[in-house]
Amino acid sequence: MEEMSINPDVIKNCVEETFYGKDFSKSENNVMKAASEDWADLGSNLYPQMVINGMTFKGRMTPDNVFEAICASFKVEPRQCHRFQK
């Protein structure tokens, strides 16, 4: 089995940078807090789903209906969207 060359200091620094304080047991993780706020604001705790311009789309998603939803979010549709609709 091949060993992975992972620098533990990089991981430690990454974790430390995501907390508001140095005492992790009493501190809040800013990445997890932002995700929780998004889940609460956008209702994005159910999958599959996506959020476009603050609107949450849930349910069965295919590449076609995802692309359609993205195209519909533009005020002026890009030419790729026009080609797709033809």
50 forms beta bridges with 57
Query: Residue 19 has what DSSP assignment?
Result: B
Query: How is residue 12 written in tokens?
Result: 């430690």
* 38 plus 53 within the same structural domain: no
In the chain, the number of structural domains is 2
pLDDT digit string (tens) for the chain, length 86 residues: 566 678 889 888 888 888 877 776 777 888 888 878 877 777 656 667 788 887 777 777 888 888 888 888 888 888 888 887 77
Q: For residue 1, is it within any domain?
A: no
Tell me the C-alpha distance between 72 and 83, whole Å: 14
Residue 39 sits in which domain range? 7-43
* 35 plus 57 within the same structural domain: no
Those residues with Cβ within 8 angstroms of residue 46's Cβ, 6 or more apart along the chain or in another chain: 58
Q: For residue 23, is it within any domain?
A: yes
* 51 plus 85 within the same structural domain: yes
Those residues with Cβ within 8 angstroms of residue 22's Cβ, 6 or more apart along the chain or in another chain: 16
Q: For residue 55, is it within any domain?
A: yes
Q: What pLDDT is stored for residue 3 in this prediction? A: 65
Query: How is residue 19 written in tokens?
Result: 């907390």
